[in-house]
Structure 1
Amino acid sequence: MTQRKLVITQNIQSDLFEKIKEIIPNWEIIVGKDPEIWKEHLYSAEIIVGWKKEVKDYCIDQESKLQWIQSWSAGVNSYPLKEMKEKNITLTTASGVHAYPISETIFTLMLALTRKIHTYVRNQLTKTWHHANLSLEIHGKTIGIIGVGAIGKETAKIAKAFGMKVIGIRHSDNKEEFFDEMYTSEYLNTILPQCDYVIVTTPLTNDTYYMFGEKQFQLMKETAFFINIGRGEIVVEKDLIKALENKEIAGAGLDVFEKEPLSEQSPLWDYENVIITPHTAGSTEHYESRVIEDIFIPNLKHYLQDRTPNFNIVNYEKGY
């Protein structure tokens, strides 16, 4: 009987490897970030943890034994979803692993823009002692969270500690803890004029592509801040630049962009009311253990029983 095989295209700690080995002692487990370690094993792997372009070449574009891919990231918009659906390959995401680090980044950006920390850092570089007309505070303001998944929920929880009014936008308007109001996405333009902070945490899908453009920025308050940690293509970047140039919004905190790395020629680098981070909002010391222990191992146990994982399964029709 052919030995079943798991390929993990990342380096993982030895204790995490041993925990997996305990569950599947008779499987061959290939682990490592170097493609030379796992490339020749892809076509015969039943499960792959982590997406690499070679997976498409060896497992999607031709026949293979692949049954399930566990993504190393929450977003799967770059995956060949149509082809994977046709081959009946199950795809699960790392949704949930980012809730703490990204919600921390969101509030870092919100507080920095509100309390002008970014301005003071620039002043420090030139040894300039200046008040910078600091006046705003975050307490009691209204925050609109576009995308109410694990990140959005954790952000709402933190917002309540600041006494904020929290409005959520997602496909369902069902009530959610820590949210004062919930709406479906068709009401986006209705809630934007109410928000002092607009936070984009939604995944990139056909429905969210270019969700924010000229009209949406014009509907926002001139005093509102825009934060995007979702995906760059959710925003029409030239329209965001125009809104900043025309002072239609007060500023922006941006971790994602239409094209990455962000071009050195982009005017976004030069705006004093913009804070840029290089798609690092989800980085954390606990990333590896959360993906393996909190998501993959529970799913693996269920897969061994029922031939399918039981959570974070991608709906190919919705794209997430």
Structure 2
Amino acid sequence: MSKRLMLITQNIAEAYTQQIKELAPDFEVIVGKDKEIWEPYAKEAEIVVGWKKDLEKLSLVEDSNLRWIQSWSAGVNSMPLSTLSEKGIVLTSANGVHAYPISETIFALMLGLTRKIHTYVKQQQQKKWHHAQMNLEIHGKIIGIIGVGEIGKETARIAKAFRMNVMGVRHSGKPTDNVDEMFTPDRLHEVLPKCDYVVITLPLTEETERMFGVEEFNSMKKSAFLINIGRGEVIVENELVQALQENVIAGAGLDVFTKEPLEENSPLWGMENVIITPHTSGSTEHYTKRVIEDIFVPNLKHYINGEKNLKNLVDYQKGY
């Protein structure tokens, strides 16, 4: 009997490959990021680790063997979710792998804006010694975390080290550690006027697309900073630009944008009250280790045993 087939469309250490082969002896395991390595096997693969756009036309054909996809990313909005749902293909995400690096970026952006680090870096390049009217601090302020998943929970934990008051917004409204008050999305406008920092950690879904626009910015304090490490499309970008230009809010730290790379003619590039990072908040030296060891290997054990309690199982109706 021919072996079942697993594709890992990433370059991983040989030790991980051997561990996976030992856990799944009935599978032939094909490993490699280059398309020519995995493309010939796409139609026969039962398990795919790391989705590639080209796999859609290769793996989602009528007589495909595909049963389970382990996404290499936390976000799955760019994947053909409706087709996967129709075909009954199980999808698990890499949700949680980013909690440490992204929460670090969130606070880097918050502290950078608060203590004007970005301004001082520019002044350093000009050999300019100037106070720049820096007088804010982060301790004791109110942070609103919009989307309290793994990233939001780690952000809340760190916020407590700064003795911040933490307000959270999540779909379920369920309380969690380190969040002083939790709200459902329909109460967003109760949260925004109270916050000194509004941190967006939301996935992109039909519900979250264009969730933040002129009405939301007008609801925020003029002294508030907005941080977005979720998805660019959650914000109406031209309305954010206007809010920043007109000092409706104090500033923004942005890692994600509606169109990426951010276009050269975007006004955001030149704004003194904006810090831009190029969608790198989730980058970490430990990425592969966390995806393989914390998510895929435990899920593979369950899958082989016919168990359905997979970690990070995507709900197709919710889109995450």
Q: Which amino acid aligns with 1:95?
A: N
Deviations 1:69-88 (A, max 9, x none): 00000000011111101100
Cα RMSD for the two superposed structures: 0.8
Q: Counterpart of 1:43 in 2: which secondary structure?
A: coil
Identity of aligned residues (%): 62
Q: Which residue of 2 aligns with 1:306?
A: 306
Counterpart Cα distance in 1 of 2:135 and 2:28: 61
Q: Which amino acid aligns with 1:280?
A: T
TM-score (norm 1): 0.99
Deviations 1:20-46 (A, max 9, x none): 112012311000010000001010000
Q: Which amino acid aligns with 1:206?
A: E
Q: Which residue of 2 aligns with 1:166?
A: 166
8 A Cα contact 1:300 1:309, kept in partner: no
Counterpart Cα distance in 2 of 1:99 and 1:18: 27
- How far 1:61 moved relative to its partner? 4.1
Q: Which amino acid aligns with 2:79?
A: Y
Change (3 A) 1:58 1:308: farther
Counterpart Cα distance in 2 of 1:252 and 1:62: 46
Q: Counterpart of 2:69 in 1: which secondary structure?
A: strand
Q: Which residue of 1 aligns with 2:99?
A: 99
Deviations 1:258-303 (A, max 9, x none): 0000000000000011000000000000000100010000000000
Q: Which amino acid aligns with 2:253?
A: G
Q: Unpaired runs of 5+ in structure 2?
A: none
- The within-5 A match list for 1:162-241 is 162-241=162-241
- How far 1:309 moved relative to its partner? 5.3
Q: Which residue of 2 aligns with 1:60?
A: 60
Counterpart Cα distance in 2 of 1:31 and 1:310: 22
Q: Counterpart of 1:144 in 2: which secondary structure?
A: strand
- How far 1:248 moved relative to its partner? 0.5
8 A Cα contact 1:5 1:46, kept in partner: yes
Counterpart Cα distance in 1 of 2:74 and 2:156: 19
- How far 1:308 moved relative to its partner? 3.8
Counterpart Cα distance in 1 of 2:39 and 2:267: 41
Counterpart Cα distance in 1 of 2:232 and 2:25: 42
Q: Which amino acid aligns with 2:14?
A: S
Counterpart Cα distance in 2 of 1:288 and 1:24: 19
Larger mean CA deviation between 201-210 and 307-316 belongs to 307-316
Deviations 1:156-207 (A, max 9, x none): 0000000000000011122110000000000111110000000000111011
Find out whether 1:289 has 2:289 as its counterpart: yes
Deviations 1:113-167 (A, max 9, x none): 0000000000000000000001000000000000010000000000000000000
8 A Cα contact 2:203 2:230, kept in partner: yes
Counterpart Cα distance in 2 of 1:230 and 1:141: 22
Q: Counterpart of 2:186 in 1: which secondary structure?
A: helix
Report how many aligned residue pairs link the two structures: 320
Counterpart Cα distance in 2 of 1:312 and 1:159: 25
Q: Unpaired runs of 5+ in structure 1?
A: none
- The within-5 A match list for 1:140-151 is 140-151=140-151
Change (3 A) 1:144 1:104: same
- How far 1:53 moved relative to its partner? 1.1
- How far 1:316 moved relative to its partner? 0.5
Counterpart Cα distance in 2 of 1:174 and 1:86: 30
Counterpart Cα distance in 2 of 1:292 and 1:191: 37
Counterpart Cα distance in 2 of 1:45 and 1:307: 20
Counterpart Cα distance in 2 of 1:138 and 1:88: 47
Q: Which amino acid aligns with 1:271?
A: M
Find out whether 1:245 has 2:245 as its counterpart: yes
TM-score (norm 2): 0.99
Find out whether 1:7 has 2:4 as its counterpart: no
Q: Which amino acid aligns with 1:150?
A: E
Counterpart Cα distance in 1 of 2:184 and 2:297: 33
Q: Which residue of 2 aligns with 1:265?
A: 265
Could you list the structure 1 runs, at least 4 aligned residues long, displaced by more than 6 angstroms after superposition: none
